[in-house]
Structure 1
Amino acid sequence: MRMTTAFLSIFIAAPALADAYDRPIPQAQSATAEFWYAFACLALIAAMIAVQQLVARR
């Protein structure tokens, strides 16, 4: 009976053993992603200039 209990305990606990965490490897950015990032940066700068001009008028 002890052998059966020990075997069942090990068998049930086996799925709980996990592999070590493998860090994901970052992928290189595509040219399209770089274009949209540059566009977003320019849009942010333009919006900040517009806000500055709006605040300076008041």
Structure 2
Amino acid sequence: MSRASQLIPFLPFGTSTLWAWSRDGRFPAPVKLSPTMTAWRNADVIEWLESHTSTTSEEV
């Protein structure tokens, strides 16, 4: 599990896009760990990154 601050260095967008895309389904949904802590499943994020990286590579 990773928090937003841990994910941002590996994503091609910023924090506000992370939250917006998570909300509208373009990025994996986070999991609420406590009332004040939200995190993403690493496997979901890696799968998303791999699917978007391969698409970009094929287009070039």
- Select the structure of larger CA radius of gyration: 1
- Tell me which protein shows more strand as a share of its residues: 2
Higher relative CO (CA 8 A, sep ≥ 6), structure 1 or 2? 2
Give the TM interval when normalised to the shorter protein.
0.3 to 0.5
TM norm structure 1 = 0.34
TM-score for the superposition, normalised by structure 2: 0.33
Query: Which is richer in helix?
Result: 1
